[in-house]
Amino acid sequence: MFASGDPMPPVSALFPSHADRVRWDDYLTRELLCANDRVARGSVVPTLDMNVLRSQLAEIDFQTPRGLDELLPWTIAQLEHGVVHMTNPRYFGLFNPTPSFPALCGDRLTGAFNPQLATATTSPAAVEIESHVIRAVARRAGLPLEATGHFTSGGSEANYTAVLCALTHANDRFASEGARAFAGPPVFYISRESHLAWVKIGHQAGIGRSAVRQVPTDGRGRMDADALARMIDDDTAAGCVPVLIVATAGTTNAGMIDPVGRCADLARAHGLWFHVDAAWGGAVLVSEQLRGLLAGIERASSITIDAHKWFATTMGCGMFLTRDPAILSSTFQVSTGFMPSNTATVDPYVTTAQWSRRFLGVRLFLSLAAAGWCGYAEHVERSVALIARLRELLAERGWRIANDSALAVLCVEPPPDAADARTLASRVLASGRAWIAVAKYEGRDVIRICLTHGEATMDDIRELTDALTDAC
Ligand SMILES: Cc1ncc(COP(=O)(O)O)c(C=O)c1O
């Protein structure tokens, strides 16, 4: 409240009155619900004329302030017509989910309180809530009681954290000397069907893109463990220093699961860090029926699971889990005078790659607490059941099923005499009826259909089947 002694009142465009906030909040709540309903029935792909948008943006030159009464509806319209809609149930895309309602509530709470999670001293409740969720998910994965971890911006940050931990684990001078600490070039192993952000991560971590060894697959999208064993021996003989094996549990293109147990055996035999990238496949841990697919994950040194994929939180919510809290601390430890505390294993700025941190985990906390493991199990199992129905429908119409994943992604090749996968996919996208991707699976172009939208129904499956058939 502005008091008479204050030199200037707060800027009302930035900090409006209570009454104005209530009015705009109510407007947003109502209008966003209506916009989401329209999105669910409308085009999945953008329909906006970008030239119009650019000319309107040119007029918003930040010289003349504009009211939220004008700005909020304008911005909603740009988003409603100017993005691919993950919230449309015919988005069969890249794991980006329609967010759960509790996750949306979490975003709102985080925005309102805007807690700083760099230290537990500043945000004790928020840090405790996050670590409660992390411990629960780690235990669900079968990691030991002392396992720890943290929320990340997504799978890439979690995987980057795994590489830093592996290097720190391999050589305790890595922290101070970097790659120079090693007797030869450090290298690590992924399958060539893995998410290739690993290549960027090799670059980011300072060991170079050539440190990322892409292991051949077995013709069905899974890492060939014999080839992996040979590559480790060859690299060692050539003077390289293997530090990490990554098994992907749910490949991005085809939902295949690498031989986790064999990778764990090899990692143990060679004293390497063993990471399981279960960025989207990790969600099946919630289901008693499906969790056996990830057998061996409990042997991992660390695991990536994204909440912003099949766990249906809003974007920017990954998890890094590890059985080794000490390595995590030595990877990120730093001491400064200005931070209010520095407790190894507790304060997130000394156990994670980030410093200032948003309250990322509240979205999974609210979703998991509201639905329970059993609610999430239904969520995951219904995706798998729907994709099984889609597989049948497409096979009946002559499509060839390329992958044999038990997860919710299908790779299909067009019927004989139809156009190629790329042409068909672009026709479906142009129709706006559904969103699908083209991917390479074992060197072949396939149409990739992923079903992780929690509100998709058989009608959506039929509409996709018709859209694909019409495109032929
Ligand atoms: C297996 C796997 N790992 C890592 C990632 C990267 O995750 P993010 O996009 O959250 O950084 C993805 C993304 O699809 C993925 O499928």
Tell me the per-residue pLDDT of 194-211, one tens digit each, with 9 for 90 and over: 998 999 999 999 999 999
pLDDT at 384 over 60: yes
Report the b/e string of 315-327 with b at 16+ CB within 10 A: bbbbbbbbbbeeb
Cβ(191) – ligand 1 distance below 6 Å: no
Residue range 295-312: average pLDDT? Answer: 98
Percent of the chain with pLDDT over 90: 93
Residue 13 structure tokens: 């465009």
SS3 at position 3:
coil
SS3 at position 192:
coil
**Ligand 1 test: best mutation among 86, 96, 195, most atoms within 8 Å of CB?**
195
User: So what's the pLDDT on residue 5?
Assistant: 80
Cβ(313) – ligand 1 distance below 6 Å: no
Report the nearest-CA residue for atom 4 of ligand 1: 155
Cβ(318) – ligand 1 distance below 6 Å: yes
Cβ(193) – ligand 1 distance below 6 Å: no
What distance in angstroms lies between residue 194's CA and the mean position of ligand 1's atoms? 9
Residue range 221-228: average pLDDT? Answer: 98
Cβ(320) – ligand 1 distance below 6 Å: no
CA distances from 282 to 91, 114, 243, 471 (A): 21, 29, 23, 34
Cβ(280) – ligand 1 distance below 6 Å: yes
Tell me the per-residue pLDDT of 434-454, one tens digit each, with 9 for 90 and over: 999 999 998 899 999 999 999
- Phi, psi for 246 (deg, rounded to 5): -115, 125
Give the number of the atom of ligand 1 that is nearest the alpha carbon of residue 278.
1
User: So what's the pLDDT on residue 210?
Assistant: 97
CA-CA-CA-CA torsion for 219, 224, 227, 231, nearest 10 degrees?
120
Beta bridge partners of 276: 247, 303
What distance in angstroms lies between residue 253's CA and the mean position of ligand 1's atoms? 11
Tell me the per-residue pLDDT of 4-19, one tens digit each, with 9 for 90 and over: 688 899 999 999 999 9
Residue 120, C-beta contacts closer than 8 angstroms, at least 6 positions apart:
127, 128, 341, 343, 346, 347, 348
Measured in whole angstroms, how far is the alpha carbon of residue 3 from the centre of its chain?
Answer: 47
Element (H, E) at 462: helix 458-471
User: So what's the pLDDT on residue 338?
Assistant: 77
User: So what's the pLDDT on residue 154?
Assistant: 98
Lowest mean pLDDT among 331-335, 386-390, 424-428: 331-335
Cβ(248) – ligand 1 distance below 6 Å: yes
User: So what's the pLDDT on residue 340?
Assistant: 79
User: So what's the pLDDT on residue 196?
Assistant: 87
**Ligand 1 test: best mutation among 159, 223, 252, 448, most atoms within 8 Å of CB?**
252
What distance in angstroms lies between residue 315's CA and the mean position of ligand 1's atoms? 12
Cβ(452) – ligand 1 distance below 6 Å: no
SS3 at position 171:
coil
> Band of the pLDDT at 2, cuts 50, 70, 90?
low
Q: Rg of the chain over CA atoms, in angstroms?
A: 24
User: So what's the pLDDT on residue 3?
Assistant: 65
What distance in angstroms lies between residue 155's CA and the mean position of ligand 1's atoms? 5
User: So what's the pLDDT on residue 364?
Assistant: 98
SS3 at position 270:
helix
pLDDT at 69 over 60: yes
Residue 153, C-beta contacts closer than 8 angstroms, at least 6 positions apart:
316, 318, 354, 360
Residue range 247-264: average pLDDT? Answer: 97
Give the number of the atom of ligand 1 that is nearest the alpha carbon of residue 251.
1
What distance in angstroms lies between residue 154's CA and the mean position of ligand 1's atoms? 7
What distance in angstroms lies between residue 62's CA and the mean position of ligand 1's atoms? 36
> What is the chain's mean pLDDT, rounded?
96
User: So what's the pLDDT on residue 457?
Assistant: 97
Tell me the per-residue pLDDT of 16-48, one tens digit each, with 9 for 90 and over: 999 999 999 999 999 999 999 999 999 999 999
Q: Of 266, 243, 233, nearest to 185 (Cα)?
A: 243
What distance in angstroms lies between residue 195's CA and the mean position of ligand 1's atoms? 6
pLDDT at 407 over 80: yes
Cβ neighbours, 10 Å, residue 235:
18
Cβ(95) – ligand 1 distance below 6 Å: yes
Cβ(156) – ligand 1 distance below 6 Å: yes
Hey, CA dihedral for 466, 467, 470, 472, is it positive or negative?
negative
> Band of the pLDDT at 1, cuts 50, 70, 90?
low
Residue 433, C-beta contacts closer than 8 angstroms, at least 6 positions apart:
44, 90, 463, 464, 466, 467
Q: Of 227, 209, 229, 210, nearest to 218 (Cα)?
A: 227
> Band of the pLDDT at 331, cuts 50, 70, 90?
very high
Residue range 55-75: average pLDDT? Answer: 97
Percent of the chain with pLDDT over 70: 99
Cβ(80) – ligand 1 distance below 6 Å: no
